[in-house]
Chains A and B, each alone.
Chain A
């Protein structure tokens, strides 16, 4: 299913500190499509405040995809609480830049399908190289 509502946010990015604004800023710089996301920081917020803010964003904008940072973070906890009421909502934890970049380029499918694809892409992008002992 495609979504033709171009320019409207398709997902929420939420996390600690400037995690969300930082990643979305990078997406904007690389693709010019930072407006695909709305952002939320849990800085100095209680769990109830995070959940309230997230609920407002999701309900107001009809968002069905939430990207967060840590599995243990209060944004992830809040998203899981929302997911209980909205089982179709997709939550992606451990989000990285590759995840969001993949997501913004898949506008030909639903946000949910794009998120599931993006999670795979983000997972595959995490690679460590080097580390050989010096002198070898």
Chain B
């Protein structure tokens, strides 16, 4: 049980997460890790409105998420942890050393990024961060929805996932 999905997705809470992953994984809580959202009541309310009433959402800064991760991992229910960017997830991995797998769910186009998959665009420093995560033993793969084939980081970076 505990946290079933550690996902990087710049949309944070949205349909793919709440329904696409939420239904098959039977997710009952989401841990949203974002320093900006954690400091804004309005942003938190916005994301709360997006989830069904039976699903809990917990908001954390990176530091407080790291401090509380072990507790979430002991939860008998299933949850997902979301970050909006690679850097936030990398900091969380660094602080906790307790994240074995990271899902790339949506990192969209922005100036300076190169397309790797339909839903994954990476800047050189982001690619470097992902390689560093993999080098420390974290299994990094891209998979937007459960029905899609997960693509290993090597496939993502080589562009093989587009073939």
Q: Find the A residue at minimum CB distance from B108.
A: A46
- Contact between A47 and B11 (Cβ–Cβ < 8 Å)? yes
- Contact between B109 and A72 (Cβ–Cβ < 8 Å)? no
Interface string of B102-126 (1 = CB under 8 A from A): 0000101110000000110000000
Answer yes or no: B49 CB below 8 A from chain A CBs: yes
Q: Please report which residues of chain A, range 8-42, place their CB below 8 angstroms from some CB of chain B when the two chains form the complex.
A: 16
Answer yes or no: B15 CB below 8 A from chain A CBs: yes
Answer yes or no: B50 CB below 8 A from chain A CBs: yes
CB < 8 Å neighbour of A46 from B10, B19, B49: B10
Q: How many Å lie between the Cα of A68 and that of B127 in the bound state?
A: 34
- Contact residue range for chain B? 20 to 34
- Contact between B50 and A71 (Cβ–Cβ < 8 Å)? yes
Answer yes or no: B140 CB below 8 A from chain A CBs: no
- Contact between B10 and A47 (Cβ–Cβ < 8 Å)? yes
Q: How many Å lie between the Cα of A61 and that of B47 in the bound state?
A: 28
- Contact between A49 and B50 (Cβ–Cβ < 8 Å)? no
- Contact between A46 and B46 (Cβ–Cβ < 8 Å)? no
Q: Find the A residue at minimum CB distance from B119.
A: A44
- Contact between A72 and B14 (Cβ–Cβ < 8 Å)? yes
- Contact between B42 and A84 (Cβ–Cβ < 8 Å)? yes
Nearest CB of chain A from residue B155's CB, rounded to whole Å: 19
Known contacts A44-B108, A45-B108; A74 and B11 CB within 8 A of each other: yes
A-B contact pairs, 10 of them (CB 8 A): A44-B119, A47-B10, A70-B18, A71-B50, A71-B51, A72-B13, A72-B19, A77-B46, A77-B50, A84-B42
